[in-house]
Structure 1
Amino acid sequence: MPPRSSAQSGKDAEQQALEHLQQQGLRLLAQNWLCKRGELDLVMLDGDTVVFVEVRYRKYAQWGGALASIDARKRQKLILAAQFFLLSEQRWADAPCRFDVVAIQSTPHGTADLHWLRNAFDG
């Protein structure tokens, strides 16, 4: 069997994150939402809160792992994309919002550790 491409691994991680969040009661509003400012991996609804979810997958942790891969520039791109989403999806424009990160890290045993960080951009 050929090795998985990084794009396929990313899609698999996104699906794993989606299923995990749905099990926690969140509802999917949009997946891979594109605009001129970027892409939102998952847009979910947690009660009345719109949640913009960035899914990060890393096979190796040598360079800080999945969570460390979100720098200030990436955060700014996500914020701009979220603003475009709220402008184009007016029904959610006045809803409370937050940014979450689901970080998935491969383990040496071939499994994956999933960490869901709520309000990832606060603090």
Structure 2
Amino acid sequence: MDRRSQGKDAETAAANYLESEGVRILERNFNCRAGEIDLIGHDGDSLAFIEVRARRADALVDGAASVDERKRRKLIRAARFYLHRHGLDNCFCRFDMIAVTITPEQPYGFEWITNAFDATP
């Protein structure tokens, strides 16, 4: 399986996992000029912008550690665009990450990090 297919499958598995945890997925792969947001969902009173990172269990860097400052800035800009486009300028939102570990024994392991980073300068 190529990386793109593997990533798409991991993203679908992450969305299913989050839904089983009570998150209502609103959008997948939201794209704008500022960037892409993998998943957007409601979790309780929060709107969560969720970055999905899939890595094999033997990878040198785990998925959560692979989101650098540049990627965070792109996610924040895309989220601001999404909020403005939908008239949600005053809603409570957060940035989550879900690290998907791919192992031969079981298809996926999940590490869901809520409030992984914030948008304050």
TM-score in same-fold range (> 0.5): yes
- 2:4 aligns to what? 7
Measure the CA separation in 2 of the matches of 1:19 and 1:111.
13
- 2:66 aligns to what? 69
1:105 aligns with 2:94: no
Measure the CA separation in 1 of the matches of 2:58 and 2:71.
19
Identity of aligned residues (%): 42
- 2:41 aligns to what? 44
- 2:16 aligns to what? 19
Query: Shift in Å at residue 108 of structure 1?
Result: 4.6
Contact kept? 1:61, 1:105, Cα under 8 Å: no
Look up the equivalent residue of 1:101 and give its one-letter code.
M
Partner secondary structure for residue 63 of structure 2? helix
* 1:80-95 → structure 2 map (5 Å cutoff): 80-90=77-87, 92-95=88-91
Contact kept? 1:66, 1:103, Cα under 8 Å: yes
Segments ≥4 residues shifted beyond 4 Å? none
Measure the CA separation in 1 of the matches of 2:32 and 2:77.
10
Taking only aligned residues, the RMSD between alpha carbons, in angstroms, comes to 1.4
- Mark the runs of 5 or more structure 1 residues left unpaired by the alignment: none
- Mark the runs of 5 or more structure 2 residues left unpaired by the alignment: none
